[in-house]
Amino acid sequence: MVSRKALVSYGGEICLLYKSVPQRSYRKMDSHSKKIMVILTGAGISAESGLSTFRDSDGLWENHRVEEVATPEAYLKDPQLVWRFYSMRRIQASRATPNAAHLALAEFSYKQAENFEVYLISQNVDCLHQRADHYNRLEPINLHGSLHQSRCTGCETIYFDDYAYFDLDGNYAPGPTNLCDPIQRASMDYLHNYKLEYRNFLPLSPCCKESMRPHIVWFGEVPLYMDKIIPLLQKANIFVTIGTSGVVYPAAGFLELAQRNGAHTICINREPIPQNNYIDDFIQGSAGEKVPLFLETLKKLS
């Protein structure tokens, strides 16, 4: 066992302790070099913005298991049901605003750029990280896609599309939400800049006249940007997960991969997660409170 400096949550405060952890080869961090910090966020970081998490609502939407509406099979069987689900999600996300945790991450990456190279991987599709990033510094790697994009099922061309095709009562009521910013809406990649044809009330792609689907990674599909993510996890000095239950793979395996490659790993979550063996410091509590505190502590250490 070796003794090493660690950040731990202690009596509600975050403080510095020396804690014993099994001997591993930690990547050397000399105090003058810039540290690489990789962050993975999940639905819990957006809970205080009013967006419900997946497993907190028992994984159910209108009595459908999320696995039943977030799969390619569900889309093939009943595209309208799937589009009702994603229209609701677009409306809810566009009404939400970034909270203290989103804002603190964006500010930290900008203000601490001399000391930390920060990378953000998000499983969330709600666009709240982008909307918190007033400094244009912390572009998230959206592993599970994004609510403000749709994709042609023919040729896979991706378009900006923030339309809700159904309202919250499930009635057909197409109209834009404000998930896309004015620049995205003005671009040729914005779906509704085209004269669209529709099938069963849903738009067909301008490129192939095929069905459009949400640009979301469903169960059984390959997550996006894995070729970027794996090298980041391999070179991270610090890896932090925030508000994720650690049950959905491959993201659930990132703590292990980062720790095995020498990163100091931290988990900020309301409740313990299954990857206990791969967490150096567990900070229990709400993201809106603990993330800004944690980043303050890191700042003082650098």
Distance CA 278, CA 257 (A): 9
| Interface pick for ligand BJW out of 103, 104, 125, 127 (rule CB under 6 A) | 125
Query: Which of residues 72 and 206 has its CB atom nearest to ligand BJW in the complex?
Result: 72
Tell me which residues in 201-230 interact with ligand BJW (CB under 6 A).
216-223, 226
| Interface pick for ligand BJW out of 14, 35, 38, 42 (rule CB under 6 A) | 42
Distance CA 96, CA 252 (A): 26
Q: Which stretch binds ligand BJW (CB under 6 A): 2-10, 51-59, 148-156, 231-239?
A: 51-59
Options 144, 148, 215, 264, the catalytic residue: 144
Nearest to 43 by CA among 55, 58, 31: 55
For residue 286, count other CB atoms closer than 10 A to its CB.
Answer: 18
From residue 132, how far is each of 2, 30, 106, 167 by CA, in Å? 39, 31, 7, 26
Nearest to 178 by CA among 127, 136, 134: 127
| Interface pick for ligand BJW out of 7, 39, 40, 44 (rule CB under 6 A) | 44
The verdict on 146 binding ligand BJW (CB under 6 A) reads no
The verdict on 70 binding ligand BJW (CB under 6 A) reads yes
265 and 239 Cβ atoms separated by less than 8 Å: yes
The verdict on 243 binding ligand BJW (CB under 6 A) reads yes
Q: b/e string for 107-130 if b means 16 or more Cβ within 10 A?
A: bbbeebeebbbbbbbbbbbbbbbb
Query: Which of residues 237 and 266 has its CB atom nearest to ligand BJW in the complex?
Result: 266
Catalytic residue numbers read 144
Residues that bind ligand BJW (CB under 6 A): 42-44, 47-48, 53-56, 66, 70, 123, 125, 144, 216-223, 226, 243-245, 247-250, 269-271, 286-287
